[in-house]
Amino acid sequence: MTDPEQSRRQQEQALERGEVYQDVEGRRTEDPAAGAANAHSEADRNVEHLRRGEVGPGVPEE
């Protein structure tokens, strides 16, 4: 049985080797196409926020 620290380390190593893809919301997948789809989906949401004039944390409003 693996301990939580070992499991976390294995997951991080898989990310570093490119065996697992993770987007900014923390969704993980082993499928490169799904990883790309998640990234495009996130980019589309960001564009919509910007069109409405919304800014993220730490970004000063003009």
Task: Tell whether pTM > 0.75.
Answer: no
How high is the pLDDT of residue 41? 87
From first to last of the 62 residues of the chain, give the pLDDT tens digit. 568 898 889 888 888 888 888 877 788 888 888 888 888 888 898 888 889 888 776 565 65
Q: Is the Cα torsion angle 45, 48, 52, 57 positive or negative in sign?
A: positive
How high is the pLDDT of residue 8? 86
Taking the CA of residue 48 as centre, how many other CA atoms within 13 Å lie in the half-sphere pointing to its CB? 6
The number of beta carbons lying within 10 Å of the beta carbon of residue 42 is 14
